[in-house]
Structure 1
Amino acid sequence: MTTLIIGAHGQIGQLLIKTLVAEGETPRAMVRAEAQAQMVKDLGAEPVIADLEGDFQSALKGCDKVVFTAGSGAKTGPDKTILVDMWGAMKAVDAAKAAGVSQFVMVSSRGAEDPEAGPAKIKHYTVCKKLADDHLLRSGQPYTILRPGRLTNDAAEHKVTTQWPTEADNQWIPREDVALAIKHCLKTPATVGKVYPLFHGELSFREALS
């Protein structure tokens, strides 16, 4: 199985590479620059240089699965959020379907289910995530959607929940646990066709993501 990681240079992307390499796999890592290519190669991935804002269809050649964990980042403006988090994700879905990919794992965000209910200051972000998720849901491409809470750099707890915590301060999850959840979804056919909110919790990945 060959998995393409779109957004491989990001924090979750790098953690996912390490996780899959530890399982004996060599994921394909899509990055934008030569310096990034060397970094993901050092982690054990097969780098491919391509840009979400351009034509990247060739990056999917020979891939069985795709993980989309790219993001414009908090330091960019709404224009980049539209181009990467929404339009780039939608293009990736279309490319995956054209390539006959068996599973597309979308790393979305809490709030994407209802942008109107979230904070106004990030509404442009959650709207973009919702539109990308909706495009995947309508596409006919086999999918799994993860909607993690606030991301932290804490060590993995290996315990999660898909139930929304009642306290906003508890709506968080370590990035490492998101990477481990992605790996679980890639290896568990029962997760195909599912949308999961994802927070730190008390359940194993197998118990929570079934």
Structure 2
Amino acid sequence: MRVLVIGANGAVGKQVVDRLKESDHQPVAMVRDTDQIPYFEEKNVETVLADLEKNFEKAFYNTEAVIFAAGSGPKTGADKTIIIDQEGAIEAADLAKKHGVNRFIMLSSMGAGQPKKAEQIKHYLYAKHRADEHLKSSGLNYTILRPGRLTNEPATGKVNVHEGSPESGSVPRADVASVLVYLLSAPRAENKIFNLIEGATPLSDVLAY
């Protein structure tokens, strides 16, 4: 499939693009600045210049699937979080529906199902929660992935993926990227929400749908 990666220049997004390159899928990296383009051109990855804070509909032309891996980052305030993690994600789902996208994979966050429980990052989890709820009601073929705390440790290739649990833990970004790509071709994962942390089960077994 031709897969639009929103947030392609991020820490997870770059690894998603790499995993897609290794698969049968064709990645299209959505970037907001021209100086981000050469990185992907060197990898022979198609790019589209578009900004989540503006009109980014052109990114969806000829798109078959979407992986939404964008995030405002830990150094931004609540306003930016709402713009990117909530409104940007909601608009992406609406555009995907409009353009007949076959599959939408959302990178969310553990805790987004019950945002009231996390006082310090409540605004972030509420933004993720609202985006997730909108995607669920959009009519799109979706999967929402809610990883635990993200680390920069090397990929282990072994994870714990379950609906509704676990509710705490961590996972390398590299493994998150691999799971996001696996979900594109996991029929039994369609229209479901999964929590993800590092574990003992190989990816090939966890997602052998």
TM-score (norm 1): 0.93
TM-aligned CA deviation for residue 165 of structure 1: 4.7
d(CA) in 2 for partners of 1:7, 1:154: 20
d(CA) in 2 for partners of 1:23, 1:148: 22
Identity %: 43
TM-aligned CA deviation for residue 206 of structure 1: 4.0
d(CA) in 2 for partners of 1:144, 1:197: 11
Q: Which residue of 1 aligns with 2:199?
A: 201
Unmatched runs of 5 consecutive residues or more in structure 1: none
Matched residue SS, 1:27: strand
Say how many residue pairs are matched. Answer: 206
Matched residue SS, 2:201: coil
Q: Which residue of 2 aligns with 1:129?
A: 128
d(CA) in 2 for partners of 1:165, 1:147: 10
TM-aligned CA deviation for residue 86 of structure 1: 0.2
Checking the alignment, whether the CA contact within 8 Å between 1:85 and 1:128 is kept in structure 2 is yes
Q: How do 1:65-144 and structure 2 match up within 5 A?
A: 65-118=65-118, 120-144=119-143
Unmatched runs of 5 consecutive residues or more in structure 2: none
Partner AA of 1:128 in structure 2: A
Partner AA of 1:59 in structure 2: A
1:149 aligns with 2:168: no
Identify the range of structure 1 (195-204 vs 156-165) with the bigger mean alpha-carbon deviation. Answer: 156-165
Matched residue SS, 1:121: coil
Matched residue SS, 2:52: coil
TM-aligned CA deviation for residue 129 of structure 1: 0.2
Checking the alignment, whether the CA contact within 8 Å between 1:7 and 1:70 is kept in structure 2 is yes
Residue deviations 1:123-162 (CA, integer Å, cap 9, x gap): 0000000000000001111101000000001111111112
Checking the alignment, whether the CA contact within 8 Å between 2:5 and 2:28 is kept in structure 1 is yes
Partner AA of 1:44 in structure 2: N
Q: Point out the structure with the larger helix share.
A: 1
TM-aligned CA deviation for residue 117 of structure 1: 1.6
Partner AA of 1:192 in structure 2: E
d(CA) in 2 for partners of 1:104, 1:178: 16
Q: How do 1:23-42 and structure 2 match up within 5 A?
A: 23=23, 25-42=25-42
Checking the alignment, whether the CA contact within 8 Å between 2:166 and 2:196 is kept in structure 1 is no
TM-score (norm 2): 0.94
Checking the alignment, whether the CA contact within 8 Å between 1:149 and 1:173 is kept in structure 2 is yes
Q: Which residue of 2 aligns with 1:179?
A: 177
